[in-house]
Structure 1
Amino acid sequence: MRQKDKIFLESKNGYFGEDKNGKHAFGGQYIPEILFPALKELEKAYKEIFPSKAYQKELKMLLDTFVGRPTPLIYAANASKILKNDIYLKFEGLANTGAHKINNALGQVLLAKYMGKKRVIAETGAGQHGLATAAACAKLGLECEVFMGEIDVARQRPNVFNMELFGAKVSSVSSGSKTLKDAVNEALREWSKRSEDSFYVLGSALGPYPYPDLVRDLQSINSKELKTQTKLFFKGLPDVMIACVGGGSNAIGFFAHYLEEKVRLIGIEAGGIGEGIGENAIRIHSKNASEGIAQGFKSIFLQDSEGQLSLTHSISAGLDYGGINPQLAHLYEVGRVEFGSATDKEALEALQFFASNEGIIPALESSHALAGAIALCKQGIKGKKIIVNISGRGDKDIFITAKALTPKAWSAFLREEIKRIEKDLESPK
């Protein structure tokens, strides 16, 4: 780790950090030549339209009146007593569409409108980004198509239904692992064909520059709000901040305004069901991960010796991406952000613990961060102020969590529900 590296919030020429030979570290633009004009157009919009008073004024208005910001900071009194630390929850699940994804999607769709684009394309894993993009397009009047892996379409059916309800076209991707990385590939292919009239709303702080910077800036509304909200509960800074890390958008937004503060920042990855290839989505601290280039940027990826992305697994569809945000990779390298992981089982246990003690149902992604907080408290620390980012609520996960926690009752309900649906279909109208 290069402890003396200075941490900047923004990338430098599209990169975060430099290696010992003076070469750029993470980020960049590793894309087909056909996409360079589209990225140059986006970069120009990011530098000129994005900071403009007109755009920022409209974005703030929409965040206040459409998204419902600020989202609350909740003191988890019961959990705090049990865990012997003061636990606070930044509850992004109360934002419109149920997760932090709307912060980014709305900002990008609004930027697309200012750029004169008529159509938006997006990729999605857990469905929350696709849902948020579809909602933003419905609000702002743009056509929307969302690419989603076939496996994710099956396990996140409620979000698919709602995306279509918003008027979006959901295109199932059956290639490769049929999950998020393949949805990204398909979205990039589509963008390369129609970049003149289409805007690609990338769902995480990934991909070629300027996406990692743009998405971070849009998600940093979270940590900006925290700077004010924490004053209602305590003086000074929190001791620890914890977020789950898939691609990394919720984490980098949650950490953004605290990168230069003396606060311990911890990212929790998906530990899945084991340590083997295809059993988890751990990029940091994994013997199966290494630096590489994929889907337009350089970062740390789960990949084979030929640079092909490996299969991953997580009970949460939003954490099973094979790569990680380039800025978070840099922040790990310089020792600013720590990383741990939580298994599927630990995430489910954390979900149950906070549901029964605090009356919230966190998303499975967020439950990994909560599992990280529980594990930290069990290490023996006491009296610390710990903020956990609840990146979304768990309504979307009911077909996964109910099957995992109450399989017999859930199976019986589904069988009876199918009978009721079939009976209704057979009945004359």
Structure 2
Amino acid sequence: MEILNKVIEVEPVKEMLDYQGKYGEYGGAFVPPVLEEQLEKLSVCFDEIVTTEEFGKEYIAILKDYVGRPSPLYYAANLSKYVGSRIYLKREDLNHTGSHKINNTIGQILLAKKMGATEIIAETGAGQHGVATATACALLGVPCKIFMGAVDIQRQALNVKRMEMLGAEVIACDNGTQTLKDAVDAALGYYIEHPDSYYLLGSHVGPHPYPKIVGYFQSVIGSEAKQQILEKEGRLPDGIFACLGGGSNAIGSFSAFLADDEVAIYGAEGGGEDRNGNTAATLTYGEPIVFQGTYSYCLTDEKGDPTFSKSVAAGLDYPGISPQHAYLKDTKRCDYHSVTDQEALDAFRLLSRLEGIIPAIESSHAVALAVKMLKNKGQLAIVTISGRGDKDVERDF
């Protein structure tokens, strides 16, 4: 793709196209036969379409003129003084719709239209992916259905109203724990029954080719951040931090730095309060199994079956995880930590009061981990603020 911005290259990281379904032993597509043909078609179309100059120019133009990319890399002077390290914030919260999710939804809906899809279906937990999907569908003129757990509908009521205002049909999922896992199950079930739909998966999970697709569209985050930090500091950071539930903003942030061994990479999982089933820290307490179409780490019960997750952050409240993050954990390229609800809430308030930036409670997990790991270290670091916290300020924590 042609670079349209001479200072900051907003295009995705091309190396993300190289993955063909496996990250070491993880990944793959474990789906019913009825889905195999649809996923194979999606894989072929993605590889053919997104590499064209026409698609690249259209996608990048929307990112720049509609989404507002590149998002700023902001030096958080007050937070840096408090922590004792130089901390930059990658401000995905300043994107149109208020999170990183719009990077992926714009890309996938452009792809879906070129594939002739009649409607878009999606799942959402915190509602940010749902809002981004509804927004992109409104922009590009495609109807959409958003599946959301009934519990998440209650705790993210503002985002539900936003989705409906944008024209989306929000479908409540009353099964299981009524959270993100169940919304994914419901969306996949609908997709099987309606093959003319396009399933717009929002995180870096699920069967191939979804992790590859989502990782590619989200890699603009790391691509920008790398160029921005070099421009501002003249060197790479000592570390980079991001939160992860499924793992899309994290893999987007990490992608451009994976080959830079001098850069330490940290992922913050939703830890809930303890390890006795009351957690969403999949990489910390899970084990590898096949779950929702892919082989990766997952929280399991005593029988080895998938179990529920628990996090104050709806967007992290998911028992599975990206297969690429599973690989990065096992190879020790990335360092993943569990962050408790209370630690995240403390960081939520800390960033709000020190910098006048109200982060999503999901992003607050990354802030909390950075504060802990960088205290009085004098290091240079980037923390991705994956979303803004408007949706969380009225919650009764």
> 2:253 — aligned with what?
254
Partners of 1:105 and 1:201 within 8 A in 2: yes
User: Counterpart of 1:320 in structure 2: which amino acid?
Assistant: D
- How far off its partner does 1:39 sit? 0.4
> 2:57 — aligned with what?
57
> 1:304 — aligned with what?
301
CA distance in 1, matches of 2:139, 2:317: 30
CA distance in 1, matches of 2:16, 2:65: 28
- How far off its partner does 1:377 sit? 2.3
Aligned residues: 382
- How far off its partner does 1:226 sit? 1.2
- How far off its partner does 1:11 sit? 6.1
CA displacement, residues 294-341 of structure 1 (integer Å, 9 cap, x when unaligned): 110000000124443211111110001101100010011111000112
Q: CA RMSD in A?
A: 1.2
CA distance in 2, matches of 1:10, 1:308: 32
Three-state SS of the structure 2 residue aligned to 1:146 is strand
Distance 1:207 1:230, change over 3 A: same
- How far off its partner does 1:230 sit? 1.1
Partners of 1:250 and 1:391 within 8 A in 2: yes
- How far off its partner does 1:293 sit? 0.3
Q: How do residues 18-37 of structure 1 correspond to structure 2 at under 5 angstroms? A: 25-37=25-37
User: Counterpart of 1:237 in structure 2: which amino acid?
Assistant: L
Within the candidate set 369, 391, 397, 1:396 is matched to 391
CA distance in 1, matches of 2:141, 2:304: 40
User: Counterpart of 1:351 in structure 2: which amino acid?
Assistant: F
Partners of 1:155 and 1:399 within 8 A in 2: no
Q: How do residues 108-257 of structure 1 correspond to structure 2 at under 5 angstroms? A: 108-195=108-195, 197-257=196-256
Partners of 2:16 and 2:216 within 8 A in 1: no
CA distance in 2, matches of 1:71, 1:9: 20
Task: Check if 1:14 corresponds to 2:13.
Answer: no
CA distance in 2, matches of 1:136, 1:147: 16
Partners of 1:280 and 1:313 within 8 A in 2: yes
Q: Which has the larger radius of gyration?
A: 1
- How far off its partner does 1:235 sit? 1.2
> 2:382 — aligned with what?
387
Partners of 1:121 and 1:146 within 8 A in 2: yes
Three-state SS of the structure 1 residue aligned to 2:284 is coil
Q: How do residues 245-284 of structure 1 correspond to structure 2 at under 5 angstroms? A: 245-261=244-260, 262-277=262-277, 279-284=278-283
Three-state SS of the structure 1 residue aligned to 2:282 is coil
Q: How do residues 311-390 of structure 1 correspond to structure 2 at under 5 angstroms? A: 311-378=308-375, 380-381=376-377, 383-390=378-385
CA displacement, residues 127-161 of structure 1 (integer Å, 9 cap, x when unaligned): 00011000000000001000000000011000000
CA distance in 2, matches of 1:27, 1:307: 19
Q: Give TM-score scaled by structure 1 length.
A: 0.87
Partners of 1:204 and 1:215 within 8 A in 2: yes
Three-state SS of the structure 2 residue aligned to 1:233 is helix
Distance 1:60 1:13, change over 3 A: closer
CA distance in 1, matches of 2:66, 2:387: 17
Three-state SS of the structure 2 residue aligned to 1:80 is helix
User: Counterpart of 2:380 in structure 1: which amino acid?
Assistant: K
Distance 1:56 1:365, change over 3 A: same
Partners of 1:270 and 1:282 within 8 A in 2: yes
- How far off its partner does 1:399 sit? 2.8
CA distance in 2, matches of 1:74, 1:33: 48
CA displacement, residues 21-69 of structure 1 (integer Å, 9 cap, x when unaligned): xxxx100000000011110110011110111111111101111111111
CA distance in 2, matches of 1:290, 1:118: 38
CA distance in 1, matches of 2:254, 2:79: 23
> 1:69 — aligned with what?
69
Query: Equivalent pairs: percent with the same residue?
Result: 46
- How far off its partner does 1:264 sit? 0.2
Consecutive unaligned residues in structure 1, runs of 5 or more: 1-7, 18-24, 405-429
User: Counterpart of 2:220 in structure 1: which amino acid?
Assistant: I
CA displacement, residues 178-237 of structure 1 (integer Å, 9 cap, x when unaligned): 000000000000000111x21000010110101101100000001111122113320110
